[in-house]
């Protein structure tokens, strides 16, 4: 499968690296020679120097034989033109574009049906707001994903020292918890991802990923000693595009919220557009301002300024001054792995969100959604089991699954089944698969529709 | 630098290299000659040694190889392969000292074609087959072959590829390095096959045809005959070999394009035009020079002149005439040819036409700037400006190349060989050509070079094959600092 990526920024780089690890043919196009050098020196892909919106460059990149075009530069205009050119040159190529400006929000469908024929418009900001919303709802979660239209949640929580599951062997779970136990899909310990087996133990400090149905979520969380807390007061620091979207959402829900923005003009604009939200003009890392606004009573502080360092500092400060929970926006991937060390647990990344939404569209077979976790080491995906694929109509234990992959859930009509070795997947079932990066090509092979000869 | 990991990979590569000894072994078995036992012993030793190295360090795994590690792996692997490739010669040829066997093996793998054997025809067929086969492997690159065939080299393969095939301008045929390596090897094998067929039609035996194709396509130059290609004394065979030497001297990605149905690819590529043009001009000059002075007829002058010029400029090193008896101008042109070399991305050595061409253009740009101090100009290739860092690395390469040539020939002369031999031997080994001048001319060989001199020339051959940087960087103290 050949994929052309326009834009070698953080998003382009990480998607390229992700796909190259899965042995796909990737061509990266960018105008910036330095960004390209970083790509060609680190990833096994082809690079082409030039503007992705130029038809000549796209032809050179082999757009005609490409299955997918990803336009992910930081300029909406370039992405749109790249898709337009691609649809002129090669109409069969699937096109995905990252478009961030809210002014285009109402036209996403128009783009699909008319001229550029963009199959999927990705707005990472919308995704980020959704992620923040989920993180706010689920107590103690550092990672929340949704499957089956939100009916199945995929949650990552840190195991505290005092938690009763710390030190417990997995095979002892049934006797401890009975049938209502959550399915533990993966554990991240000291930056390494483990798919645990019966005789593995959970340790304090582990980041545990589990899968749970929505209505059993709070019960599942209480197993990990995470208890529901009311969400009444929210403080947003940074009134940029994401901040505004989030504030507007909270405005509708009648949650008491405040937003701090430094730029007076932007403040006045926010104040015009928002009704109940209190707009404050000032610096989010200003202690006296935070104290004045009763930071100790705030349930969640979300830092969303454009400056990474400010976000980190403001979150740490808010936590120290008594805020119950913080969510921090981080864009630089290199920072992500440092966050737990300095005491920031809940992080959102627009770029990671963009990558997640792009990935689900790239997966072969009928993949409905895909979420990458732990700095892209692994992926959870939801897919439809096709009738002619290898995965259906035999017990799971007889399917030669690649190492590092498990089926974490089966959704049959309205029912959700947590599978065992005896479970059989039927055609048309939606299955949730958890797989490490290395196992993904193998999974794709199992899921793919086989060509049958008559 | 993760040494355990580096040694692990070197082990795998050596194991793989050892497995290729099965081909000469089959050849030896076919002819039932004396090479079977030494080849079998060498194969067991090489495969076993590689496997042990790999198993001993199998715990060391890595997701990515850094550029530095890639260079270290390639440089070390080439040295180790040179050593294990020498085993059949050491064990199978009487009175062959270890340094001689090592010299012969490295000369093969680096596609130099310089030999220490005084009587080639007395050596068993199995060993001569190995001698040719090792050149064929080294030509397109044993590591490129491993990258193409061994899947687990995956992402790290890119760093290895870059260290073994350092091209001034990066050239990737396919998005993935594995596919690129595979294509290059397929094209290489296909052209080699075509040459075998054409040589057979000219009356060569299958054995000789295979051995000569195996040394023409990598621009190696080992022959199975004492008199090299002159042995056959056939205009047809000379012509076939000339054509295939030129093909081997052209960038292989152009061959791929031609095979994909773009016949004008050769003409559209500016380096290829430069290379073919240079060959034509030099052939005419030399033929004109030797006409009358050495040869009576125009036909003969053209036949021998063109063969020798093509053989040297593509860095193959076959001989049909003793060019040391030619006039001074022809000899000097041949010496310059050793430095010019073939195209980048071909199997040839030397400094490469592309670099020389870029250097000319750069010099012209400097002159132009003296005349128009405020002009803004770029060095361009195919209508595109060459980035400054590539220009810098080209100039750096050329200075290093000339510097190392000068240094090594002084050292060689210091060991007691005469002026022409010192200059010729170093130019011919660092450029991976083979025959030089003086004591190491086309009708002589390297047997009489003093032992330390042989070690020096072995180093020169590795320098030339891995295009200087990959080898010389191991000598830079900064490389070893943590």
CATH assignment of the domain containing A26:
3.40.50.720
B179 contacts in A (CB within 8 Å)? 25
Which of A59, A89, A122 is the last residue in one of the domains?
A122
Are residues A325 and A377 both part of a single domain? no
Across A176-190, B97-111, B298-312, B425-439, least confident range: A176-190
| A217 and A246 co-located in one domain | no
Contact A67, A61 (CB under 8 A): no
CA dihedral B173, B175, B176, B179 (to 10 degrees): -40
- Determine the 3-state secondary structure of A203 from DSSP: coil
Distance CA A434, CA A378 (A): 7
What are the pLDDT digits (tens) for A321-378? Answer: 888 888 999 888 778 777 777 878 788 888 877 877 787 777 655 666 666 665 556 7
On whether any CB of chain A is under 8 Å from the CB of B170, the answer is yes
Query: Which phi and psi angles does A443 have, rounded to 5°?
Result: -60, -45
Q: Which residues contact A232 (CB under 8 A, 6 or more apart)?
A: A255, A256, A299
- Calculate the CA dihedral of residues B103, B105, B111, B115 and round it to 10 degrees: 50
**H-run or E-run covering A193:** strand A192-194
Which residue, of A223, A241, A268, is where some domain finishes?
Answer: A223
Phi–psi pair at A5, nearest 5 degrees? -115, 125
Euclidean distance between CA atoms B228 and B145, whole angstroms? 28
Please give the sequence-ordered ranges of beta strands (E in DSSP) within A274-404, or none if there are none: 278-281, 300-303, 325-329, 346-348, 366-373, 378-384
> Does A45 contact B at CB distance below 8 Å?
yes
Among residues A186, A120, A252, A254, which one has the least CA distance to residue A439? A186
Which DSSP category does B228 fall into? G
Measuring CA to CA, which residue among B431, B432, B449 is closest to residue B440? B449
A348 and A380 housed in the same domain: no
For residue B195, give both structure tokens.
């040459």
Do A20 and A69 share a domain, yes or no? yes
Q: Tell me which residue has tokens 């075009």.
A: A69
Which of B67, B157, B172 has its CB closest to that of A46? B172
Considering the domain boundaries, does residue A133 fall inside one?
A: no
> What band does A203 get if pLDDT is binned at 50, 70 and 90?
confident
Same domain? A29 vs A86: yes
- For the full predicted model, state whether its pTM sits above 0.90: no
Task: Report the residue of chain B nearest A40, measured CA to CA.
Answer: B158
Rounded Cα distance between A1 and A363, Å, is 10
Of B154, B175, B178, the CB nearest to A45: B175
Q: Taking CB atoms and an 8 Å cut-off, how many pairs form between chains A and B?
A: 30
Look at residue A183 and give its three-state secondary structure.
strand
Indicate the pairing of strand A415-417 with strand A405-412. Answer: antiparallel
**DSSP reduced 3-state for B411:** helix
Neighbour-count burial of A423, counting CB atoms closer than 10 A to its CB (0-12 exposed, 13-18 middle, 19+ buried): middle
A454 in a structural domain: no
A212 and A149 in one domain? yes
Cα dihedral B317, B103, B462, B420 sign = negative
Please check whether residues A307 and A348 belong to one and the same domain. Answer: yes
> CB within 8 A of B365, min separation 6: which ones?
B377, B378, B379
Residues A104, A16: one domain? yes
Paired with B243 in beta bridges are: none
A38 belongs to a structural domain: yes
- Indicate whether A181 and A200 sit together in one domain: yes
From B401, B420, B406, B378, select the one nearest B471 (Cα to Cα).
Answer: B401
- What would the mean pLDDT of B367-377 be, rounded to a whole number? 92
Is residue A303 situated within a structural domain? yes
Give the number of other CB atoms < 10 A from CB of residue B451. Answer: 12
Measuring CA to CA, how many Å separate A378 from each of A18, A439, B354?
10, 9, 44
Mean pLDDT in residue range B223-241 = 91
Distance from CA of A96 to the nearest CA of B (A): 20
Pick from B82, B71, B73, B75: which is nearest to B5 by CA?
A: B73
pLDDT digits (tens, 9 = 90+) for A106-156: 888 888 888 788 888 888 888 888 888 888 888 777 778 777 777 778 888
Is A179 part of a structural domain of the chain?
A: yes
A27 touches chain B (CB under 8 A): yes
Mean pLDDT for chain A overall: 82
Query: Which of A21, A33, A41 comes nearest B387 by C-beta?
Result: A33
Residues A303, A385 within the same domain: no
Instruction: Assess contact for A391 and A149: CB atoms under 8 A.
Output: no
- Specify the higher pLDDT residue, A367 or B178: B178
CB within 8 A of B25, min separation 6: which ones? B36, B39, B40, B43, B126
- B67 touching A (Cβ < 8 Å): yes
CB A96 within 8 A of CB A32: no
Q: SS3 for B146?
A: helix
Cross-sheet strand order for the sheet of A346-348: A278-281, A256-261, A233-237, A300-303, A325-329, A346-348
- Does A38 lie at the interface with B, CB-CB under 8 angstroms? no
- How many Å apart are CA B151 and CA B316, to the nearest integer? 32
Region for A125 from its dihedrals, namely left if φ exceeds 0, alpha if ψ lies in -120 to 50, beta otherwise: alpha
Chain B residue numbers touching A43 (CB-CB < 8 A) = 155
State mean pLDDT over A286-299: 87
Out of B120-129, B375-384, B413-422, which region has the weakest mean confidence (pLDDT)? B375-384
pLDDT band at B88 (very low <50, low <70, confident <90, very high): very high
Give a yes or no: residue A357 inside a domain.
no
**Spatial contact of B5 and B70, defined as CB atoms under 8 Å apart:** no
Chain A residue numbers touching B64 (CB-CB < 8 A): 42
Residue A242 shares a structural domain with residue A327 = yes
Of A352, A374, A405, which closes a domain?
A352
User: Do residues A314 and A243 lie in contact, with contact meaning Cβ atoms separated by under 8 Å?
Assistant: no
Q: Mean of the pLDDT values across residues B6-28?
A: 92
- Strands A46-49, A25-30: pairing is parallel
Same domain, A346 and A377: no
Q: What torsion do the CA atoms of B21, B25, B26, B32 make, to the nearest 10 degrees?
A: 170
Q: Quick check: is A290 in a domain?
A: yes
Q: How many domains does chain A have?
A: 4
Q: What is the CATH number of the domain that holds A408?
A: 3.30.70.1450
Whether A452 is covered by a domain: the verdict is no
pLDDT-derived band at A452 (thresholds 50, 70, 90) equals very low
Return residues 374-393 of B near A (CB < 8 Å). Answer: 387
Range of the domain at A9: 2-122
Residues recorded for chain B? 482
Mean pLDDT of B106-133: 91
pLDDT reported for residue B399: 94
**pLDDT classification of A293: cutoffs 50, 70, 90:** confident
pLDDT (tens digit, 9 = 90+) per residue, B243-277?
A: 999 999 999 989 999 998 888 888 888 899 999 99
How far is the C-alpha of B316 from the C-alpha of A399, rounded, in Å? 55
Around Cβ B205, how many Cβ atoms within 10 Å?
Answer: 11
- A398/B72 Cα distance (integer angstroms): 45
């Amino acid at each position: 499968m050949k994929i052309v990526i326009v834009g070698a920024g953080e998003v382009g780089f990480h998607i390229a690296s992700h796909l190259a690890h899965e042995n796909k043919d990737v061509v990266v196009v960018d105008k910036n020679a330095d960004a390209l050098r970083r790509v060609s020196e680190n990833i096994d892909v082809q690079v082409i120097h030039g503007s992705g919106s130029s038809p000549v460059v796209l032809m050179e990149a082999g757009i005609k034989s490409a299955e997918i075009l990803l336009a992910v530069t930081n300029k909406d205009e370039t992405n749109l033109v790249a898709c337009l050119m691609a649809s002129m040159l090669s109409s069969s190529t699937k096109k995905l574009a990252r478009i961030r400006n809210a002014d285009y929000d109402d036209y996403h469908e128009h783009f699909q049906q008319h001229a550029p024929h963009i199959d999927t418009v990705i707005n990472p900001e919308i995704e980020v707001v959704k992620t923040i919303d989920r993180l706010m709802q689920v107590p103690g979660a550092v990672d929340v994903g949704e499957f089956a239209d939100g009916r199945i949640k995929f949650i990552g929580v840190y195991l505290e020292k005092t938690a009763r599951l710390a030190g417990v062997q997995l095979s002892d779970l049934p006797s401890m918890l009975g049938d209502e136990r959550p399915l533990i899909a993966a554990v991240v310990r000291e930056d390494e991802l483990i798919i645990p087996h019966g005789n593995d133990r959970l340790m304090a400090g582990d980041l545990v990923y589990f899968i749970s149905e929505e209505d059993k979520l709070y019960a599942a969380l209480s197993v990990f000693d995470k208890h529901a807390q009311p969400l009444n007061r929210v403080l947003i620091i940074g009134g940029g595009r994401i901040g505004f979207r989030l504030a507007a959402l909270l405005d509708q829900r009648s949650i008491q919220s405040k937003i701090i923005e430094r730029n007076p003009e932007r403040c006045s604009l926010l104040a015009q557009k928002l009704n109940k939200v209190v707009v404050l003009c000032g610096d989010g890392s200003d202690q006296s301002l935070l104290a004045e606004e009763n930071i100790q009573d705030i349930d969640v502080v979300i830092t969303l300024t454009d400056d990474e360092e400010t976000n980190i500092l403001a979150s740490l400060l808010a936590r120290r001054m008594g805020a119950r929970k913080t969510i921090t926006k981080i864009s630089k991937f290199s920072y992500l792995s440092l966050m737990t060390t300095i005491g920031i647990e809940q992080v959102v990344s627009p770029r990671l969100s963009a990558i997640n939404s792009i990935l689900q569209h790239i997966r072969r077979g009928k993949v409905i959604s895909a979420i990458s976790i732990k700095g892209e080491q692994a992926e959870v995906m939801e897919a439809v089991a096709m009738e002619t694929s290898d995965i259906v109509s035999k017990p799971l234990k007889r399917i030669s699954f690649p190492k590092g992959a498990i089926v974490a859930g089966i959704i049959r009509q309205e029912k959700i089944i947590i599978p065992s070795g005896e479970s059989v997947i039927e055609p048309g079932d939606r299955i949730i698969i958890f797989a490490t990066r290395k196992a993904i090509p193998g999974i794709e092979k199992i899921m793919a529709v086989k060509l049958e000869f008559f | 630098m993760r040494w355990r990991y580096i040694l692990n990979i070197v082990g795998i590569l050596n194991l793989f290299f050892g497995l290729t000894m099965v081909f000469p072994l089959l050849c030896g078995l076919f002819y039932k000659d004396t090479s079977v036992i030494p080849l079998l012993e060498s194969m067991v030793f090489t495969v076993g040694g590689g496997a042990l190295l790999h198993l001993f360090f199998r715990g060391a795994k890595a997701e990515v190889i850094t550029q530095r590690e890639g260079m270290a792996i390639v440089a070390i692997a080439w040295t180790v392969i040179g050593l294990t490739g020498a085993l059949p010669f050491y064990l199978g040829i009487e009175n062959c000292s270890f340094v001689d066997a090592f010299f012969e093996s490295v000369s093969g793998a680096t596609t130099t074609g310089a030999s220490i054997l005084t009587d080639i025809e007395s050596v068993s067929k199995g060993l001569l087959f190995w001698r040719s086969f090792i050149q064929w492997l080294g030509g397109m690159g044993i590591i490129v072959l491993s990258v193409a065939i061994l899947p687990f080299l995956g992402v790290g393969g890119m760093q290895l590829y870059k260290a073994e095939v350092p091209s001034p301008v990066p050239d990737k045929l396919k998005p993935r390095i594995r596919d690129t390596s595979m294509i290059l090897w397929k094209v290489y094998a296909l052209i080699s096959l075509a040459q075998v067929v054409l040589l057979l039609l000219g009356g060569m035996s299958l054995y000789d045809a295979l051995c000569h194709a195996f040394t023409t396509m990598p621009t190696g130059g080992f022959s199975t005959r004492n008199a090299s290609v002159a042995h056959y004394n056939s205009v047809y065979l000379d012509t076939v070999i000339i054509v295939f030497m030129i093909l081997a001297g052209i960038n292989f990605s152009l061959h791929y394009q031609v095979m994909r149905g773009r016949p004008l690819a050769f003409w559209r590529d500016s380096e290829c035009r430069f290379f073919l043009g240079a060959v034509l001009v030099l052939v005419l000059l030399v033929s004109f020079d030797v006409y009358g002075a050495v040869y009576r007829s125009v036909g003969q002058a053209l036949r021998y002149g063109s063969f020798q010029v093509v053989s040297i400029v593509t860095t193959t090193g076959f001989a049909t005439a003793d060019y040391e008896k030619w006039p001074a101008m022809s000899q000097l042109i041949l010496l310059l040819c050793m430095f010019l070399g073939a195209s980048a991305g071909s199997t040839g050595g030397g400094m490469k036409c592309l670099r020389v061409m870029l250097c000319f253009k750069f010099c012209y740009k400097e002159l132009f700037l003296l005349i128009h101090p405020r002009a803004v100009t770029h060095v361009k290739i195919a209508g595109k400006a060459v980035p400054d860092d590539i220009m810098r690395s080209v100039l750096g390469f050329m200075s290093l190349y000339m510097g190392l040539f000068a240094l090594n020939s002084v050292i060689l002369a210091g060991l007691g060989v005469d002026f022409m031999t010192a200059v010729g031997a170093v130019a011919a080994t660092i450029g991976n050509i083979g025959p030089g001048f003086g004591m190491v001319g086309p009708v002589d060989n390297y047997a009489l070079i003093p032992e330390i001199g042989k070690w020096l020339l072995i180093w020169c051959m590795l320098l030339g094959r891995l295009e200087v940087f990959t080898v010389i960087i191991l000598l830079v103290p900064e490389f070893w600092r943590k």
